[in-house]
Amino acid sequence: MARAQTLITQTAWASAGQIIQVVTGLVSLIVLVRLLGAETYGVFALGLLFTMLADVFVGGHAADGVVQKKTLTEAEKSAVYAALMGVGLVCALLLAAGGSLAAGLFDTRGLAEILPVMALLPILTAATSVPNQLLVRELRFSTLAKVGAVASILAVSLGIALALAGFGIWSLVGLELARRVIGLILKHVAVRWVPKTGFSTSDLSAMAPFGLRRIENKALSYISIQALPRGIIGYVLGTEALGFFVVARRFIDQLNAVLSGPMSAVALPATARLRSEPVKIESLIASLIRVGTWTFWPALLGTLVTAPLLLPLVFGREWADAVIVMQILVLASLRTPLSGFAANVLTAYGALGDISRARLIAIAVGAVTCGIGAQFGLAGAVAGLALRQWLLAPVLSAFVARHSGVSVVRQFAVLARAAVPSIVMALMVAALGWSIGGHLAPAFELALLVVSGVVLYPLLWLAWNAEARQGALAALSGLLRGDRAAATRSLKGVIAGGPV
């Protein structure tokens, strides 16, 4: 009971931190997009394409052995830290030297100017990875949430100030550098750990095989999720089209971070602790899918319905062409509650080979679907990516089923049942929008649709989830009374759910 309550509490903290980061991220996105335009975002996205490649070798995944290993010595922590710092320095030198080559590849001169400065990013990531994973190991998601929120607020404030002062693309570079510097300092302070010198290569060798497989997983994920779509869109359709794609994708990613990201983050440490208990694992996986769908689908389908009003109002009329891109990305992301946590569950089981196989399939399929789709413009390229995502979802579910024992049918059934209130809500809001279309100012129409969705969804949820209704109302009553323990007990029962 105590462990379950800890996971629920830490997931709530992670969600709260993500909400703050998402709000600040959306504010910065809205302000900076209007100040800088799609072309600037496209150039910066290409710069991130190269720095994210460096992050593959030094990011937190490379230090996942710190989380996964049952017992951990000080020498092993320090050995991993030193190895990542060495790799980060090499990556930084390569990025600084390769700016002109990258600019020539994409015919974008601005890359040659920003890449030498952005080369600092992998060094900062390397220095943060071990402290970050130590906090994850200790299930200190509340600390990570606070650090992320502070870093986001301060970095966004700096980025907006630089943009208003006329620094152009350098405001985006400064924002990213500031976010990582602040995160580095605060995580080191929070974990109260500094690397020691008394270690040897043998201390690293114990975790090296796991770390290398995680780097392999992340490299394939980077190619699949970042390099392939950005590379095809940027090379075939240009930096302006890439800017439209990146901004729409970031909007969806922000929703994902706050609504399903915390559940995914908890999946690794929770599965690692429960993997020898099949009944509890089945309950955990069903809960991850169920809660992810309850929270993520209404936001996604609400975005799908309101996108024609939302994007022009938020980013300006010139972004109207990105509406269809946003809507297709929403359809692609609907599978997230089913497969968004899969890699973390497989990592907990040590099934890194299955993760790599899934990524290879995604790369092969995505190269075909996105490549063909790009011949029909940006919407076609994004539609190809969406098709790839849904074709891959059963593959990931099958890998999860192999290790956890939770069948693919069971996983999809939980998703389908949990999604019903969201689908009904979206249809009702769409009908309302169709009936009043053109009769109200766009801002008022958008507000009306959002409010109607916010009111309708909990009512539909309570009507559909009869077995969880009493627990949900009891949790709300406990929160209103200030009885946190009672609210947590009731919430646990709601999350556990009933049979499908």
pLDDT for residue 4: 46
What is the pTM assigned to this prediction?
A: 0.73
pLDDT for residue 498: 47
> d(Cα 126, Cα 51) in Å, to the nearest integer?
12
> d(Cα 331, Cα 200) in Å, to the nearest integer?
49
Cα–Cα distance list, 26 to 14, 38, 247, 314, 315 (Å): 18, 16, 10, 10, 11
pLDDT for residue 139: 74
Amino acid at site 253: D
* Token pair listed for 402: 């192999």
Q: Closest Cα to residue 343, out of 419, 431, 416, 271?
A: 271
CB atoms closer than 10 angstroms to residue 279? 9
In 98-249, where do the E strands start and end?
none
pLDDT for residue 11: 56
Structural contact between residues 84 and 76, judged by C-beta atoms closer than 8 angstroms: no
Q: Closest Cα to residue 125, out of 60, 174, 192?
A: 60
Cα–Cα distance list, 487 to 10, 97, 241, 492, 493 (Å): 15, 56, 47, 9, 10
Structural contact between residues 185 and 132, judged by C-beta atoms closer than 8 angstroms: no
pLDDT for residue 242: 87
pLDDT for residue 491: 56
Q: Closest Cα to residue 335, out of 296, 302, 370?
A: 296
* Token pair listed for 437: 């279309």
DSSP state of 197: S
DSSP state of 375: T
pLDDT for residue 281: 86
pLDDT for residue 66: 75
pLDDT for residue 481: 66
pLDDT for residue 255: 75
Taking only the tens of pLDDT, the chain with its 500 residues reads 444 455 555 555 555 666 676 677 777 777 888 888 888 888 888 888 889 888 888 887 677 777 767 777 788 888 888 889 999 999 999 999 888 888 887 777 888 899 999 999 999 999 998 898 888 887 777 788 888 888 988 999 999 999 999 999 999 999 999 999 999 999 999 988 888 877 777 767 777 777 777 788 788 888 888 889 988 998 898 888 888 888 888 888 877 776 666 667 677 777 877 777 888 888 888 888 888 898 889 999 999 999 999 888 888 777 777 889 989 999 999 998 888 888 888 888 888 888 889 999 999 999 999 999 999 999 999 999 999 999 999 999 999 999 888 899 999 999 999 999 999 999 999 999 999 877 888 899 999 999 999 999 999 988 888 766 666 666 666 666 666 666 566 555 555 554 44
> d(Cα 335, Cα 295) in Å, to the nearest integer?
13
For the purposes of burial, counting CB atoms within 10 Å of the CB of 200, is it exposed (0-12), middle (13-18) or buried (19 or more)? exposed
Coil/strand/helix, residue 497 = coil
Domain ranges of the chain: 1-206, 209-464
What is the 3-state composition of the chain as percent helix, strand, coil, each rounded to the nearest 5?
90, 0, 10
Structural contact between residues 289 and 85, judged by C-beta atoms closer than 8 angstroms: no
pLDDT for residue 250: 82
Q: Closest Cα to residue 153, out of 175, 123, 133, 138?
A: 175
pLDDT for residue 393: 92
Q: Closest Cα to residue 241, out of 476, 1, 38, 463?
A: 38
